[in-house]
């Protein structure tokens, strides 16, 4: 009992200390209420350590305390970043933000801290897609950039994504060095914050980005694609519609219920096109649109990801969403056909089909760790993607995933095929016949208790499966040790031997870098010597992928 009383007193003292310097009225009110109630469990969650730099910065639930996203945490992050830059490359820092709760406040706080540190700061003119921020860094010759966004996370979250002057997200050792700078920040009142002196950029930065998206397309390509579009309550609408109009495509039909930015994302459980049900309104709009549109296009809330739906008579409702790997292969094939040269790349969790497309075209191919912070750094990059709907189709313009320019390139491809009386699914069939059917799927488990992820990874490391879905495990790699071509990362890779009609299969298991999920990425390769063989191959692949998920869940204890 004395120890418990002492722990409670220490927790309340920490909360009072935080309250005394919290600059935000909303979180002060929240924290004062919890202290008054003696809500130790809620307080313990907010003061259980500090929110750590993860995938390119910070991301987490909003609220009071060091383990939440709030103005105090953002001010410290901005101070640590400013100290890092002042010691190495002082100059301009560009700051963008989305339409989530507190995003504009976090952006202004960052500008105030950067300016107070003696650096130059420039805010984007309004809530805009993250790709506009990534473009602006290089376009303006900045030394760094900050995007205040939680991308496709739930409404309660926000985030702080950091870029350096090459326009790509931070990687080691910069992340650790910035984190050390944040840890060295003293009391909040010691952080200099300017009241003015930063620049607010004009709409000309958006115009420059739009000019770049237009230039990324092939001159003279047809522009006839019709589309239904949803920004999923995010900030993509004005920029994507302007990009389509500027390029000469018909203006997309908007999903009215999701057209305006809304930080509460009222029509979806999770504002991520990959999540079940997220595309329902978009497909309903497509079914109600006459004549039938060629595509359904969706961005996530900060518009750095792109999802595409296609007409499919065999699908429920007549439409289906392409998997991220399918769209990646289509874009790779299109860019090859357009004569794009350079290195093609995909992350380790993505399909191996892009590598085969590049090889057949005599182009180099590179595999990277998950995340565009790695893909963007591939030397000579011409195209990079990962299966989570992220595509970099113009690395000289945006050295990151870009859901706006990717949507334009998909529309260009669809129009080119349409001129030949063909569709995206026809091209997918061609690729399957040429290179084998590369069927992919994912087992994704969201958890409330992060120890479940740790326990699952431990089980798989200590007792790796000898076979999965009846296929022998030919190689089991702990990616935490790194490989000849990849730095260490928390993940496991199983290469499965082929059997019967299956050429090979692959499984990768890893914790998500942005959400409380464990993810298992699956690929099965089956030869399909003719189009007539594809239905049987797809049915067989579906059965194997289902068994893989069942076996993995059992071995991992999920």
SS3 label, residue 111: helix
Q: How many residues are present in the chain?
A: 558
Decide: 253 and 272 in contact? Cβ < 8 Å: no
Whether omega for the bond prior to residue 173 falls within 30 degrees of 0, making it cis, is yes
Distance (Å, rounded) from C-alpha 362 to C-alpha 341? 9
Is 151 among the catalytic positions?
yes
Distance (Å, rounded) from C-alpha 455 to C-alpha 397? 42
Which member of 82, 89, 103, 151 is catalytic? 151
Structure tokens given for 482: 């790194």
* Alpha-carbon distance values, 221 to 293, 418, 419 (Å): 19, 12, 10
Instruction: Provide the angle, in degrees to the nearest 10, between the axes of the packed helices 324-337 and 403-419.
Output: 70
Alpha helices in 89-139 (DSSP H): 103-116, 130-139
Distance (Å, rounded) from C-alpha 52 to C-alpha 176? 10
Structure tokens given for 388: 């989570």
* Alpha-carbon distance values, 71 to 153, 453, 458 (Å): 19, 30, 36
Alpha helices in 217-249 (DSSP H): 237-247
**DSSP symbols for 416-456:** HHHHTT--HHHHHHHHHHHH-EEEEEEEEEE-SSTHHHHHH
Decide: 348 and 384 in contact? Cβ < 8 Å: no
DSSP single-letter state for residue 377: T
The continuous run of DSSP H or E covering 471 comes out as strand 471-478
Give the catalytic positions in this structure: 151
């Amino acid at each position: 009992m004395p120890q418990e009383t002492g722990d409670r007193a220490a927790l309340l003292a920490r909360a009072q200390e935080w309250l005394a310097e919290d600059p935000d009225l909303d979180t002060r009110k929240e924290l004062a209420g919890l202290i008054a109630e003696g809500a130790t469990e809620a307080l313990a969650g907010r003061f259980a350590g500090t929110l750590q730099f993860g995938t390119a910065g910070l991301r987490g639930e909003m609220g009071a305390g060091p383990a939440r996203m709030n103005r105090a945490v953002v001010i410290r992050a901005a101070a640590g970043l400013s100290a890092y830059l002042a010691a190495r490359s002082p100059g301009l820092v560009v700051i963008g933000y989305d339409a989530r709760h507190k995003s504009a406040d976090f952006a202004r706080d960052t500008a105030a801290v950067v300016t107070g540190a003696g650096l130059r700061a420039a805010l984007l003119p309004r809530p805009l897609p993250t790709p506009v921020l990534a473009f602006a860094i290089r376009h303006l010759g900045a030394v760094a950039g900050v995007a205040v966004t939680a991308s496709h996370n739930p409404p309660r979250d926000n985030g702080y994504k950091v870029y350096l002057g090459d326009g790509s997200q931070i990687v080691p050792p910069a992340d650790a060095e910035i984190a050390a700078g944040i840890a060295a920040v003293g009391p909040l009142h010691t952080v200099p914050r300017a009241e003015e002196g930063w620049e607010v950029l004009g709409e000309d930065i958006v115009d420059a980005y739009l000019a770049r998206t237009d230039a990324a397309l092939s001159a003279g390509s047809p522009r006839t694609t019709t589309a239904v579009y949803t920004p999923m309550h995010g900030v993509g609408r004005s920029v994507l519609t302007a990009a389509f109009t500027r390029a000469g495509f018909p203006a997309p039909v908007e999903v009215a219920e999701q057209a305006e930015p809304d930080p509460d994302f009222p029509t979806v459980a999770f504002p991520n096109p990959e999540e079940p049900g997220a595309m329902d309104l978009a497909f309903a709009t497509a079914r109600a649109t006459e004549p039938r549109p060629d595509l359904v296009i969706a961005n996530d809330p900060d518009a750095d990801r792109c999802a595409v739906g296609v007409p499919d008579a065999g699908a429920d409702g007549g439409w289906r969403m392409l998997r991220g790997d399918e769209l990646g292969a289509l874009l790779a094939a299109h860019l090859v056909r357009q004569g794009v040269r350079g290195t093609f790349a995909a992350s380790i969790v993505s399909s191996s089909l892009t590598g085969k497309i590049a090889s057949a075209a005599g182009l180099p191919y590179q595999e990277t760790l998950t995340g565009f912070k790695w893909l963007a750094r591939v030397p000579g990059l011409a195209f990079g993607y990962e299966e989570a709907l992220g595509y970099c189709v113009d690395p000289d313009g945006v050295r990151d995933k870009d859901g706006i320019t990717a949507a334009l390139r998909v529309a260009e491809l669809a129009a080119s095929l349409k001129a030949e009386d063909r569709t995206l699914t026809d091209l997918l069939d061609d690729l399957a016949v040429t290179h084998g059917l590369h069927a992919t799927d994912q087992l994704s488990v969201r958890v409330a208790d992060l120890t479940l992820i740790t326990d699952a990874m431990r089980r798989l490391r200590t007792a790796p499966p000898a076979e999965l879905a009846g296929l022998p495990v030919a190689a089991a790699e702990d990616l935490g040790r790194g490989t000849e071509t990849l730095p260490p990362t928390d993940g496991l890779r199983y290469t499965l031997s082929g059997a019967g009609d299956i050429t090979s299969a692959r499984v990768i298991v890893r914790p998500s870098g942005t959400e409380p999920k464990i993810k298992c990425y699956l690929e099965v390769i089956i030869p399909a010597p003719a189009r007539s063989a594809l239905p049987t191959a797809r049915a067989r692949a579906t059965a194997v992928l289902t068994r893989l998920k069942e076996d993995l869940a059992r071995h991992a204890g999920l």
